[in-house]
């Protein structure tokens, strides 16, 4: 299904754009099982492209829509994220979902963030796989209107939009191909930005399979600290 997306003309000098926000924060939820180089590149690239003050990884205790697979212990996944981000002051890790007594859905996590950070300009980051599955999320249309969103596309993988409603499609702004920072347009409505700022095909599921099969080379797809941690604690074997 072909649709007409808004492009990054909205961010050109003639458009009314927001001033750089001192408290523009992105939250990236996921299993991070394990944290890989693509996850790290997304954080760094999105900070630059959207002029963020902070990028926060939010590991899920157990993704509610992925109940068919038991994840690696939350302790290990949090530790790998912490080791990966320790040397970058703009990257951090939140245990907010790990500390919840029950598995929170994204709609609940976003609601909590909005309440706790009323002065912040919040962005929720997701990968292309999450975008493809968005309709399986609880109250997904509400999720996509509660805050701004950044969808990170994957090289060589076309992204589709016919699974979402017309009202959601109208919020999409395509900034793929942009080489400069993005200052989002002032608007009462939240937006969904598509970016190709990261060219990485790293896949957590493929990394786990390679380790299980004892294939060489898997460590190239994860930060060196994560590779050492996986080997020390013999994860994914």
> Helical H runs in 5-163?
37-49, 74-85, 106-116, 128-132, 140-146
CATH number at residue 150: 3.40.50.620
In a domain, 1, yes or no: no
Could you report the per-residue pLDDT of 196-229, keeping only the tens digit for each? 999 888 899 999 999 999 999 999 999 999 999 9
Q: What average pLDDT does range 25-52 have in this prediction?
A: 95
In a domain, 154, yes or no: yes
The answer to whether residues 58 and 25 touch, using CB atoms and an 8 Å cutoff, is no
- The tokens describing 178, both together, are 């942009």
Cis bond upstream, residue 62 (ω within 30): no
Q: What average pLDDT does range 82-88 have in this prediction?
A: 96
In a domain, 206, yes or no: no
Q: What is the pLDDT of residue 17?
A: 54
In a domain, 175, yes or no: yes
User: pLDDT category, 172, cuts 50, 70, 90?
Assistant: very high
User: pLDDT category, 15, cuts 50, 70, 90?
Assistant: very low
* pLDDT value at 67 more than 80: no
The answer to whether residues 59 and 93 touch, using CB atoms and an 8 Å cutoff, is yes
* pLDDT value at 84 more than 70: yes
Number of structural domains in the chain: 1
In a domain, 152, yes or no: yes
Q: How far apart are CA 164 and CA 141, in angstroms?
A: 8
In a domain, 78, yes or no: yes
In a domain, 12, yes or no: yes
**Full domain range(s) for residue 47:** 6-199
In a domain, 216, yes or no: no
- The tokens describing 211, both together, are 């380790």
């Amino acid at each position: 299904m072909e649709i007409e997306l808004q492009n990054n003309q909205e961010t050109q000098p003639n458009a009314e754009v927001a001033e750089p926000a001192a408290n523009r924060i992105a939250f990236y939820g996921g299993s991070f099982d394990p944290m890989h180089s693509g996850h790290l590149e997304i954080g760094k690239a999105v900070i630059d492209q959207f002029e963020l003050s902070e990028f926060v990884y939010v590991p899920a205790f157990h993704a509610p829509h992925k109940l068919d697979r038991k994840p690696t212990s939350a302790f290990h996944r949090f530790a790998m994220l912490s080791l990966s981000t320790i040397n970058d002051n703009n990257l951090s890790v939140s245990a907010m979902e790990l500390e919840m007594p029950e598995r929170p859905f994204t709609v609940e996590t976003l609601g909590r963030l909005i309440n706790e950070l009323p002065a912040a300009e919040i962005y929720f980051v997701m990968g292309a796989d999450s975008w493809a599955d968005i309709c399986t999320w609880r109250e997904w249309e509400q999720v996509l209107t509660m805050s701004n969103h950044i969808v990170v596309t994957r090289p060589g993988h076309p992204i589709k939009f016919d699974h979402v409603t017309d009202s959601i499609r109208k919020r999409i702004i395509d900034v793929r191909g942009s080489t400069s920072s993005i200052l989002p347009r002032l608007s009462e409505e939240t937006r969904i930005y598509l970016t190709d700022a990261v060219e990485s095909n790293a896949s957590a599921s493929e990394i786990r399979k390679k380790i299980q099969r004892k294939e060489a080379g898997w460590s190239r797809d994860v930060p060196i600290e994560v590779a050492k941690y996986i080997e020390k604690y013999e994860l994914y074997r």
